[in-house]
C-alpha cells in the first residue's frame, strides 16, 4: 500500500495554475524531498497532501483511501498526518501545552499524554523548558517545539515545510543531524520541502524536482543531484559549470566527448546523448594542477587562467578562463600551494566519473 498517491493533480490560484502534477507515489517509511525555486509549487503540493488545499482536478489517495469531498471524511484522514510549517506557529501557552495541543484535540489526556509529551520534549532537547513561554524561546528552540508537537502525534505521514528556515548555519546543521537520526529510528513516512542540497542528501531517500508546478525529475536523491535531467534542472540544483561540448556515440554504449580540444570517453552512466551537449561539472570536482605536472589516468586536463579568487564560506571560489568561464572551489591551503591569484596560469582537472552530460 502506498501512503500517498496522486495522479493528474491541478491546483490553480485564480487564473494561475500553480501545480500540474502528473503522478506522485510515496512508499511507507520513505522520505521525499520536494525541491524547486520559489513559486515552483512545493508548498502548494505539501498543503494538498495535508488536505489544507483542494485540487481542481486529479485524484489523491492517502493511506489507500481516496480523499473524499466531505469535510468529515477529510478530517478523519487529516488526523493521521501532521504538518510542520515554516513558522513554528506556537500558541500563547507553555511549551508543554503547545506540544500537547494536538493530543488534547484528539481526545488524549492523563498519564499517557504526559508520557508522550515528555518523551518528545526530551528527544528534541527541550526537557527542561516545558514550563517556559514560547516568547522566551530562541528560534531554534521554537523550531524544536513545533517538531515535537508533530512527532508526539505519532503520525503516519509527516509533512515538513522548510523546517530549518530562519535558523543560523550552526542551528540548521545541528537540528538537521538530529532529525536525520530521529527519522531513521522512527521510519516515519515524510515529505520535506527544502532548498538545501545538503539537507536533501542527508534526510531524503528520494528527490522530486518541481519547476513551474510540473515534475521535472524524480528519483533517488543522490542520483538526482549527480545526474540532473536537463540544463535547467542542473542550474537549479547548483551545478556551477555547464561547459559546452560535443558528444558522439562510441563503442560499448559509451560517449566520446570533445571539450576545448580534449577528447575523452564517458561511460553509459553519464547519459548517452549525441551532438551539442553541456558537460555538467560541480565546482568541488574541479582540481588544480601546476603546468608541467602529471595527473592520474581518467582525469581531463585543460589549460586555464585564474581570473578571480574570492573567499566563499570555508572554501575559496576560483573563477577561471579556459575558453569558457569555469568555477572551482579550493581550500585555503590549495590556493596558497598553487599560488592561485588573478592572472595565474594553471591546469584545471576533473575526473571523468564526476561529470554528467545533458543536451544543449
Task: Give the pLDDT confidence of 71-104 residue by residue, as tens digits.
Answer: 999 999 999 999 999 888 888 899 999 999 999 9
Inform me whether the pLDDT recorded for 350 exceeds 70. Answer: yes
Helices and strands, counts by H and E, the chain: 10, 20
Q: How far apart are CA 297 and CA 352, in angstroms?
A: 10
d(CA 14, CA 181): 41
Rounded to an integer, what distance in angstroms lies between the CA atom of residue 254 and that of residue 345? 32
pLDDT at 282: 95
Q: For 3-17, what is the mean pLDDT?
A: 94
Residue 165 pLDDT: 84
Residues in the chain: 360
Contact status, residue 55 vs residue 134, Cβ threshold 8 Å: no
Sorting pLDDT into bands at 50, 70 and 90, what band is 295? Answer: low
Contacts of 135 (CB under 8 A, 6+ apart): none
Distance from C-alpha of 244 to C-alpha of 222, rounded to nearest angstrom: 24
Measured distance CA(317)–CA(309) in Å, rounded? 6
Q: Is the pLDDT of residue 269 over 70?
A: no
Band the pLDDT of 290: cuts 50, 70, 90: confident
CATH of 4-226 among 3.40.50.300, 1.10.357.10, 3.40.640.10, 3.40.50.2300? 3.40.50.300
Q: Hey, what's the cell of 114? A: 504526559
CATH architecture entry for 239-359: Beta Barrel (2.40)
Domain with CATH 3.40.50.300 in the chain: 4-226
Residue found by looking up cell 488545499 in the block: 53
237-253 pLDDT, tens digit per residue, is 999 999 999 999 887 77
Coil vs helix vs strand at 293:
coil
β-strands 275-281, 262-266 pairing: unpaired
pLDDT in tens, 180-225: 999 999 889 999 999 888 899 999 999 999 999 999 999 999 999 9
Amino acid at each position: 500500500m502506498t501512503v500517498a498517491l496522486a495522479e493528474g493533480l491541478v491546483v490553480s490560484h485564480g487564473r494561475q495554475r500553480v501545480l500540474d502534477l502528473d503522478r506522485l507515489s510515496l512508499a511507507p517509511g520513505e522520505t521525499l524531498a520536494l525541491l524547486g525555486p520559489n513559486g515552483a509549487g512545493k508548498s502548494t503540493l505539501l498543503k494538498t497532501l495535508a488536505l489544507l488545499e483542494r485540487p481542481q482536478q486529479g485524484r489523491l489517495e492517502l493511506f489507500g483511501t481516496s480523499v473524499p469531498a466531505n469535510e468529515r471524511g477529510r478530517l478523519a484522514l487529516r488526523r493521521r498526518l501532521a504538518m510542520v510549517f515554516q513558522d513554528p506557529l506556537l500558541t500563547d501557552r507553555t511549551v508543554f501545552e503547545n506540544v500537547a495541543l494536538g493530543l488534547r484535540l484528539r481526545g488524549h489526556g492523563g498519564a499517557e499524554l504526559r508520557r508522550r509529551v515528555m518523551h518528545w520534549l526530551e528527544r528534541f532537547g527541550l526537557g527542561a523548558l516545558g514550563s517556559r513561554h514560547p516568547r522566551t524561546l530562541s528560534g531554534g528552540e521554537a523550531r524544536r517545539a513545533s517538531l515535537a508537537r508533530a512527532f508526539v502525534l505519532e503520525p503516519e505521514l509527516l509533512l515538513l515545510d522548510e523546517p530549518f528556515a530562519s535558523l543560523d548555519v550552526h542551528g540548521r546543521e545541528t537540528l538537521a543531524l538530529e532529525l536525520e537520526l530521529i527519522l531513521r529510528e522512527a521510519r516515519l513516512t515524510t515529505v520535506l520541502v527544502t532548498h538545501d542540497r545538503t539537507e536533501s542528501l542527508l534526510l531524503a531517500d528520494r528527490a522530486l524536482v518541481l519547476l513551474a508546478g510540473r515534475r521535472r525529475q524524480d528519483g533517488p536523491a543522490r542520483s538526482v543531484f549527480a545526474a540532473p535531467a536537463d540544463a535547467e534542472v542542473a542550474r537549479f540544483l547548483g551545478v556551477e559549470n555547464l561547459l559546452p561540448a560535443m558528444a558522439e556515440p562510441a563503442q560499448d554504449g559509451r560517449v566520446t566527448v570533445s571539450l576545448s580540444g580534449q577528447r575523452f570517453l564517458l561511460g553509459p552512466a553519464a547519459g548517452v546523448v549525441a551532438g551539442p551537449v553541456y558537460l555538467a561539472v560541480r565546482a568541488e570536482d574541479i582540481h588544480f594542477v601546476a603546468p608541467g605536472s602529471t595527473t592520474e589516468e581518467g582525469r581531463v586536463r585543460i589549460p586555464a587562467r585564474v581570473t578571480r579568487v574570492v573567499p566563499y564560506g570555508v572554501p575559496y571560489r576560483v573563477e577561471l578562463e579556459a575558453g569558457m568561464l569555469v568555477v572551482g572551489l579550493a581550500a585555503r591551503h590549495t590556493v596558497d600551494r598553487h599560488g592561485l591569484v588573478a592572472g595565474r596560469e594553471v591546469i584545471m582537472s576533473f575526473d571523468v566519473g564526476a561529470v554528467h552530460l545533458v543536451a544543449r
